[in-house]
Amino acid sequence: MNEIASNNSIISQKIAAILALTLGVMSVFAGSKVLLDIDNKAYNVLIWLVTYNVIFGAISIIAAFYIWKNRSTAKYLSLFILTMHFSVFMYLKFLSSTVASESIKAMLFRTSVWILIVVLSLVIPKYLSKQIK
């Protein structure tokens, strides 16, 4: 039972790292195209939001590495990213009058994926570590 729980914890963290890396690369790639004026959107683009997405895409790539390597820094970085995405989502949804619905949906997606990443990389391994003891 202990070996199975340990293996499941490792698998859970690896899946979380792959999700973080994928989302990070997608954010950097898509946002950079907009910032470099390679991709023009048919809706109102908030440059600060695109810049935020590129920066946090890069931070997500770093977090993916830390999650993969099971570093303690991954916990704080993952919770920071989730908190920031959730805060920006709440701002866009309830306080911003100039944001496109596509931007709100994209931030909801990022927030949801980061909830999943936190569950896979922090909650499940913590639960499984109790099973090992």
What pLDDT, in 10s, does the model give residues 9-36?
899 999 999 999 999 999 999 999 999 9
Structural domain for 17, as ranges: 2-132
The verdict on pTM exceeding 0.85 is: yes
The tally of domains found in the chain comes to: 1
Contact assessment for residue 74 and residue 66, using Cβ atoms and an 8 Å cutoff: yes
Return contacts of 100-103, CB within 8 angstroms, 24+ apart: 100/41, 100/43, 100/44, 100/45, 101/43, 102/41, 102/43, 103/43, 103/46, 103/49
Q: Which pLDDT value is given to residue 6?
A: 83
